[in-house]
Structures are given as C-alpha cells and as structure tokens.
Amino acid sequence: MKISKTAIDGVVIIEPQVFEDERGYFFESYNQAKMEEAGLHYNFIQDNQSKSSYGVVRGIHFQKGEYAQAKLVRVLEGTVLDVAVDLRKNSPTFGKYVAVELSAENKKQLMIPRGFGHGFAVLSKTAVFAYKCDNVYNKASEGGIRFNDPDIGVDWKINPDEAILSEKDKNAPFLKEVTCF
C-alpha cells in the first residue's frame, strides 16, 4: 500500500498493491493496521455506495458538528474526478481543494479527514462510487456548497453547463455565504 500526501494536510492518496494474473486481479482495499502505521487513525462505521451517469456532479457536501465525517473513497466501476475542499476555518488552506482522478482501473483511493467538503464528477459513461465513513449520516447536520463556486474554482473536467445536479446541489450556497464553520 502506497500512501502519498497531497497539497492539503490530512488528505492522502492511497494506492493498493495489485496482484494480477490471467484470472484477474486481487488487492487489499483496506487494512486498519497499515493505515495506523501511516498515522491514519480512523474507525469506519458506515459504508455507502452510489451509481451515477456521465456528467453527474455530487457535492460539494459536508457534515458539520458532532456528525462531521472522515471518508475513504474509491471507484468500483468507471472514472470520477474526486474533490476534497478544506472547510476548516482556521486552516491555512481554507477554501482550497485537492482533485484526484479515481477509477476502477487505477484503484486509487482518497482519504478525506473531517472538516472537508466532498464531491465528485462522473467522467465515464457510468461510475459506481464507494466510501467508508467514520461517523453516521445525520440529515440535520448536512450542508453543501455550490459545485461551481468561483472562490473555490474547481475544474470538474466536464462542461459546467451540462452538469447533472440534484435540486439541493443546484441551490447550494456559495462558500462565502456559509457561516457554520
């Protein structure tokens, strides 16, 4: 397992060791002991999965307060651009983001600590996205930021005018309008 730091403290890319032969492949997608050896101490308690089509953007979502969540995310089918936005108000990288292409082919994972917004755009015909969370989802604690917020400036690798969004995401506030941090 290779763990690489990103430009934002706490967000890391995890690349498993993949064993391939004529039958297919095998890899260890999660190993708590190896994560802890790397200084990543998380107790995951909930797994989620979604399937989306090309152009779907999910996010930028977050959970606040006692229901904040760390997430370990990966793609089981297809390709996405995965984005983690630093929402820690006193962080030197507040409002900055890390974007990583995750795919079934590259098998990369992104570890996103608590205090971050998260979203992804589907770059393939379809994508199956999976994530482990270290806290339960709580509807009253959810929040969102507009995916095309110019103060954040994410290049989602799709035409923003063609993005497929939920009503909630279409109407999400801009970062400067959110006061819960």
CATH number at residue 119: 2.60.120.10
% of the chain exceeding 70 in pLDDT: 99
Q: Is residue 35 part of a domain?
A: no
Q: Is residue 149 part of a domain?
A: yes
Q: CA–CA separation, 76 vs 126, rounded Å?
A: 11
Confidence of residue 180 (pLDDT cuts 50, 70, 90): confident
CA angle 14, 19, 22 (to 5 degrees): 140
Exactly one of 42, 61, 97, 118 is catalytic; name it: 61
> 57-112 pLDDT, tens per residue?
999 999 999 999 999 999 999 999 999 999 999 999 999 999 999 999 999 999 99
Q: Which residue has the tokens 């509807």?
A: 139
Q: Hey, what's the torsion of the CAs at 22, 15, 2, 39, to 10 degrees?
A: -140
pLDDT of 124 higher than 80: yes
Per-residue confidence (pLDDT) for residue 179, from 0 to 100: 81
* Residue 152 and residue 85 in contact, taking contact as beta carbons nearer than 8 Å: yes
Domain tally for the chain? 1
Q: Domain limits at 121?
A: 44-177
Q: Is residue 36 part of a domain?
A: no
Structure tokens of 136? Answer: 């339960």
Q: Is residue 32 part of a domain?
A: no
The phi-psi region of residue 107 (left if phi > 0; otherwise alpha if psi is between -120 and 50; otherwise beta) is: left
Q: Is residue 34 part of a domain?
A: no
Exactly one of 54, 118, 131, 137 is catalytic; name it: 131
Q: Is 131 a catalytic residue?
A: yes
Q: Is residue 6 part of a domain?
A: no
Structure tokens of 155? Answer: 């290049």
Q: Is 41 a catalytic residue?
A: no
Q: CA–CA separation, 19 vs 5, rounded Å?
A: 24
Q: Is residue 105 part of a domain?
A: yes
Q: Is residue 13 part of a domain?
A: no
Which residues does residue 142 pair with via DSSP β-bridges, in sequence order? 63
